[in-house]
């Protein structure tokens, strides 16, 4: 018995578009465009696992993981431009299936993490440190932390990419002492600010850790959460703050 295609509702289509941030995840073309003063769509909701697989598709996808048993569930849809959708479907390959499966899985995890952002607060005093960090970074007058004091290598695992690990290591070495001094000054103005902020970051980290095993993803989600909770502060500065708390043992 064949499945009947269910087209996503307008609200679901908007969610799919937002999920990929208005860019086709395969070719990066914008999925909405303006013409004659009107917004037009150039995307389609593509089934990741086929709606009604052919005998060949059923064979090549045999044993492959699926994001939902219901092929018409939103977890099995992804927004693609019409060209990429057609290429993905004809012919469907196991390599391309795995590529979109992994991409959608990451998008679902990111959306679930973002749903938690509202529930986990951070003291706005940390904005003072973020802004001071951005302001003072032009001067470059930072005391470096000794390499032998680094805790990152003891705590990181293979789920953290080499590039990110180097960035965190450099952030700790260059900025740890500076940020610690800024927290000391903040505590003089607002007593116990550091303990409160540290506990809030630790709490959100533990929440993420319950469902996410990748340190790379945890680091990225902590950085984005801090950025969003501080009125879209630059992610570079927020990453430095998260690196500080990795060294300080609230994270990882």
* pLDDT value, residue 147: 63
Write the pLDDT tens digit of every residue in 129-165: 999 898 886 666 677 776 666 789 899 999 999 999 9
Residues of the chain with pLDDT under 70: 1, 137-141, 146-149
DSSP state of 30: B
* pLDDT value, residue 144: 75
Say how far apart CA 168 and CA 173 lie, in whole Å. 9
**Token pair for 94:** 């196991």
* pLDDT value, residue 124: 87
Exposed / middle / buried, residue 128 (Cβ in 10 Å: 0-12, 13-18, 19+): middle
Q: For residues 48 and 76, is the Cβ–Cβ distance under 8 A?
A: yes
* pLDDT value, residue 135: 85
Cα angle 177-178-181, degrees, rounded to a multiple of 5:
85
Beta strands in 139-248 (DSSP E): none
Which residues have C-beta within 8 Å of that of residue 110, sequence separation ≥ 6? Answer: 221
Q: How far is CA 74 from CA 16, 23, 71, in A?
A: 8, 18, 8
Say how far apart CA 212 and CA 210 lie, in whole Å. 6
CA dihedral of 214, 20, 71, 45, whole degrees rounded to 10: -170
Which residues have C-beta within 8 Å of that of residue 127, sequence separation ≥ 6? Answer: 230, 231, 233
- Which candidate, 151, 147, 142, places its Cα nearest to that of 181? 142
Residue with tokens 């092929």: 71
List the end-to-end C-alpha distance of the chain, in Å, as a whole number. Answer: 49
**What angle do the packed helices 215-229 and 193-211 form, to 10 degrees?**
130
40: left (phi over 0), alpha (psi -120 to 50) or beta: beta
What phi and psi values does residue 70 have, to the nearest 5 degrees?
A: -85, 115
Say how far apart CA 136 and CA 216 lie, in whole Å. 28
Say how far apart CA 223 and CA 244 lie, in whole Å. 12
């Amino acid at each position: 018995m064949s499945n009947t295609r269910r087209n996503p509702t307008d609200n679901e289509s908007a969610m799919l578009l937002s999920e990929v941030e208005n860019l086709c995840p395969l070719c990066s073309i914008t999925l909405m465009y303006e013409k004659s003063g009107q917004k037009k769509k150039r995307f389609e909701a593509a089934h990741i696992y086929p709606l009604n697989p052919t005998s060949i598709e059923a064979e090549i996808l045999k044993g492959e993981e699926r994001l939902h048993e219901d092929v018409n569930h939103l977890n099995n849809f992804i927004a693609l431009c019409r060209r990429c959708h057609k290429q993905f479907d004809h012919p469907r390959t196991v390599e391309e299936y795995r590529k979109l499966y992994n991409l959608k899985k990451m998008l679902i995890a990111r959306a679930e993490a973002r749903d938690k952002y509202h529930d986990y607060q951070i003291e706005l005093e940390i904005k003072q440190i973020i802004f001071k960090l951005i302001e003072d970074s032009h001067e470059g007058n930072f005391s470096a932390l000794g390499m032998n004091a680094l805790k990152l290598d003891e705590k990181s695992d293979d789920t953290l990419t080499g590039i990110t690990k180097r960035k965190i290591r450099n952030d700790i070495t260059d900025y740890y002492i500076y940020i610690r001094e800024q927290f000391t000054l903040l505590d003089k103005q607002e007593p116990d600010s550091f303990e409160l902020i540290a506990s809030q970051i630790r709490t959100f980290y533990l929440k993420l850790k319950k469902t996410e095993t990748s340190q790379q993803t945890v680091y990225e989600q902590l950085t984005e959460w801090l950025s969003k909770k501080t009125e879209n502060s630059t992610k570079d500065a927020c990453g430095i703050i998260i690196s500080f708390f990795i060294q300080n043992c609230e994270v990882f």
